[in-house]
Amino acid sequence: MKVIINGTGLDTITIWNYDGRNVRFESFRNRTWIFVHGTPYDVDFLANQLDRVHWVSYSRERMRDVYGYLDGLRISLNPSMVPEITRAIDTIGMGRKYSIYNGDINPVLRIMSEKSLNFFNLENPEDMDVEIPWVSIVPVYSSGGLKHIVIDGDVVKPHRSGLETAYEAIRNSRFIIYGNRGNSFTSMLEELSNSGLYIKGVHAGKMSVYQSYGQVHYKGPWIRIDGKMCMDMDSFILRESGMEGSYAMSRMSSLPLEYTAVVTPGTAVSSMEVSHAIGRGILIPLYKNDHEEWKSVWDILDRDRGGLVLQPDPGLYCNVYEIDFSSMYPSIMVNYNLSPETVTGSKRPVVGEFSHGGNRGFLSESLQHLLETRLFYKGIKWKNPVYAARDTALKWMLLTSFGYTGYKNAKFGKIEVHEAITSLGRDILACSIGIAHRMGFRVIHGIVDSMWIMGDGDVDKLIREIESETGIGIVLDGYYRWIVFLPSRSGIGALNRYMGLRHDGTFKVRGIELRRNDIPNIVKQFQKDALRLFSQCMNPADIYSKRLDLRDLENSYMERIRNFSQDDIENYRINFKITRRREEYSVKTIQKQALDILIRSGIEVNPGERIPVSVADRKRGILNLQPDEAGIDRKFYIKYMKRAFESFDYLVQASSPLCVQRDIREYFQ
């Protein structure tokens, strides 16, 4: 079967058709248009100016955006001239007289949407993707320069024949997955060129540093090579969901696969909305101009409160159900028909008043296919890793779809929609808690779209009742033999730190060291071994009976640190994330000390990147950045390890007969 796997170009678009063996190129001339709206006088003035420009044509038309119909000029031109004409119109209108639409759409996305084409199209959602022969090329550098090149798993030394092997791999491959951590692939291409092995048509982007949900992220420079498809193996979506997930994101967003490797899931959602707007003939604003409505201080306090989170009592609980709303916020947007043009005035949506059709809002309609597809793959992901990968990619798109409604530059975002979603989310969780109480359940904890409950009621009936009342799908995510909610440093229950053993024998853990990226592997190994120790425990008595075994396990890991062996050094390396530039660190942290060492070696590290470090002497700032450097600071790692003990020590403490009897008394009171 022939599928479209790529699209390139600007004034001439080339579509790549692939039949499993060969790529056939189909090219055609591309002509586009923009729409300009203004007062009748300003539109007439602009028309007079355009009469002097020979490379554009225009017509007076009435077109619609999400709010209604607009009168203006539809200006036809080549895509390469769009930036110039939009700048000129902005200048003529002094940046405020004209509203410009469809002025910054990806040309390939536009063609795919106008012609109702899809990348990596599937006749059936359960079909497998076409097999593409990707070649993996990963240069590895050390402080001494290019150390070796890994080509499809084979290690090649960087002498002349090795460079020629890398050159031939790039030249003869149409599909390349490259590793460019620390600009390694870019540097290797320069070395090839300096050796007379020149790769034609190489284009490189710029690195970028951005913040998302409070985290600093680094995005390395992308690489494109004419006539080839190139994917950065460190791209977020490829790392999270593999190539099958990347195909799914390209298919859903109408973006070429190479673009999905360099954009965020939020940009992919925005592109999907743009594609939907093109299909419906809705104008896409170049600059967002629907500002936040006026609100009093009391309105802001009432509406802008985020999700509902309960405060759990720390302790051990048995036979606990965890029920989760399926993609709660996107489901609210779709089922309650929330969109910029439907959320107006001071009226707030109410739980139960969900939409059953009729006039669908733009945002609600554009998200519906994404939501339905994701829920489909979520239901069958256990059948095949490919379905699980697609589910992961689409889940990330859905997660960011909510955040984009409140993003100041989102094409179809509106803060009032964002507030309406969170308001409904709070009410839905509160309503669900009330239903659970009425049906005889005790609610132990709740976080935005999840509840942990215990009791002898009919949980299936509870789920049906909540779905009927709220209009949002809900699933039983887990049934725990036991679950421990851990305390914070202050002693009160931590909002998102717990460990639980399900009845199917699997664990779910959140908030402990095992889940973090900046923890040495030896600490994670201890926590994995500790979980295995408790994996057969059916009740608090079983857990308490393991207290001596836990102590022995803890002692064995302490002895391992005290008797450190250089062969074990990789288990002590910590991947510290650099969150700012060296001069911006005011405290002498390990990150700052590592940056000092690297800068002295002539190596630049950007915010968002990670540095693998083992600590040789914390007080004196001696760090090992190379795996062959000797020694560790035993006190430093013992401190790390003791902190990892605390969660399991608390589990044993909470399972003691005294604590269990106290909890039983409190439950019946």
CATH code of the domain containing 95: 3.30.70.120
CA distance 163 to 178: 15
Distances (CA, A) of 576 to 149, 587, 640: 25, 15, 14
CA distance 263 to 246: 11
Mean pLDDT in residue range 608-634: 82
Can you say how many angstroms the Cα of residue 646 is from the centroid of all Cα atoms in its chain? Answer: 31
CA distance 343 to 292: 12
Q: How many residues comprise the chain?
A: 669
The pLDDT, as a whole number, for residue 212 is 65
> In what helix (H) or strand (E) does residue 590 lie, and over which residues does it extend?
helix 590-600
Distances (CA, A) of 339 to 74, 222, 355, 414, 630: 26, 34, 12, 8, 59
647: in domain: no
| Residue 606 near residue 575 (C-beta atoms within 8 A) | no
DSSP letter, residue 285: B
Distances (CA, A) of 571 to 234, 408, 520, 524, 641: 22, 43, 6, 9, 13
CA distance 595 to 458: 57
The pLDDT, as a whole number, for residue 290 is 72
Structurally, the chain folds into a number of domains equal to 2
21: in domain: no
Which of the four pLDDT bands, split at 50, 70 and 90, describes residue 593? confident
The phi and psi torsions of 623 (rounded to 5 degrees) equal -120, 150
Which of the four pLDDT bands, split at 50, 70 and 90, describes residue 668? very low
Asked if the model's pLDDT at residue 357 lies above 50, the reply is yes
What residue type is 608 in one-letter code?
G
Asked if the model's pLDDT at residue 636 lies above 80, the reply is yes
643: in domain: no
The pLDDT, as a whole number, for residue 606 is 82
What residue type is 387 in one-letter code?
Y
Q: What is the pLDDT of residues 197-227, one digit of tens each?
A: 999 999 998 877 766 666 777 777 899 999 9
| Residue 234 near residue 119 (C-beta atoms within 8 A) | no
204: in domain: no
The pLDDT, as a whole number, for residue 669 is 47
The pLDDT, as a whole number, for residue 355 is 64
Q: Which of 494-498, 582-586, 598-602 has the lowest mean pLDDT?
A: 598-602
Asked if the model's pLDDT at residue 436 lies above 90, the reply is yes
CA distance 475 to 465: 12
CATH number at residue 504: 3.90.1600.10
Q: Which of 25-29, 314-318, 432-436, 583-587 has the lowest mean pLDDT?
A: 583-587
The pLDDT, as a whole number, for residue 209 is 73
Distances (CA, A) of 436 to 22, 332, 456, 491: 58, 20, 11, 27
Residue after which a domain boundary falls, among 511, 534, 550: 511
| Residue 120 near residue 15 (C-beta atoms within 8 A) | no
36: in domain: yes
| Residue 271 near residue 254 (C-beta atoms within 8 A) | yes
Distances (CA, A) of 362 to 79, 290, 368: 26, 15, 10
CA distance 622 to 629: 11
The pLDDT, as a whole number, for residue 667 is 47
> In what helix (H) or strand (E) does residue 75 lie, and over which residues does it extend?
strand 69-77
Asked if the model's pLDDT at residue 656 lies above 50, the reply is yes
Asked if the model's pLDDT at residue 164 lies above 90, the reply is yes
CB atoms within 10 A of CB 502: 17
Mean pLDDT in residue range 364-383: 95
Q: Provide the β-strand partners of residue 613.
A: 574
Asked if the model's pLDDT at residue 345 lies above 80, the reply is no
State the angle between helix axes of 236-253 and 385-405 in degrees (0 to 180), rounded to the nearest 10.
80
Residue closest to 575 by CA, chosen among 616, 518, 627, 617: 518
Task: State which residues form the domain around 344.
Answer: 303-511
> In what helix (H) or strand (E) does residue 409 lie, and over which residues does it extend?
none
Which of the four pLDDT bands, split at 50, 70 and 90, describes residue 666? low
> In what helix (H) or strand (E) does residue 481 lie, and over which residues does it extend?
strand 474-487
Two tokens at 138?
């990963």
Burial of 310-348, coded b for 16+ CB within 10 Å and e otherwise, reads bebebbbbeebbbbbbbbbbbbbbbbbbbbbbbbeeeee
Q: Is 242 helix (H, G, I), strand (E, B) or coil?
A: helix
| Residue 436 near residue 430 (C-beta atoms within 8 A) | no
Average pLDDT over the chain reads: 90
Residue closest to 337 by CA, chosen among 362, 372, 303, 369: 362
State the angle between helix axes of 82-92 and 40-50 in degrees (0 to 180), rounded to the nearest 10.
130
Distances (CA, A) of 243 to 90, 349, 412: 41, 40, 29
Distances (CA, A) of 599 to 86, 456, 475, 596, 603: 43, 62, 51, 5, 5
Distances (CA, A) of 216 to 158, 275, 514, 606: 34, 29, 21, 10
487: in domain: yes
Burial of 63-94, coded b for 16+ CB within 10 Å and e otherwise, reads bebbeeebebbbbebbbebbeebbeebbebbe
Residue after which a domain boundary falls, among 488, 511, 534: 511
267: in domain: no
Q: Which of 36-50, 255-269, 398-412, 554-568 has the lowest mean pLDDT?
A: 398-412
The pLDDT, as a whole number, for residue 358 is 62
CA distance 158 to 126: 44
Residue closest to 641 by CA, chosen among 514, 478, 483: 514
521: in domain: no
Asked if the model's pLDDT at residue 184 lies above 60, the reply is yes
Residues whose CB is less than 8 angstroms from the CB of residue 509 and which lie 6 or more positions away in sequence, other chains included: 498, 499, 500, 515, 531
Residues whose CB is less than 8 angstroms from the CB of residue 161 and which lie 6 or more positions away in sequence, other chains included: none
Residue after which a domain boundary falls, among 511, 530, 556: 511
3-state per-residue secondary structure call for 132-183 = CCCEEEEEEEECCEEEEEEECCEEECCCHHHHHHHHHHHHHCCEEEECCHHH
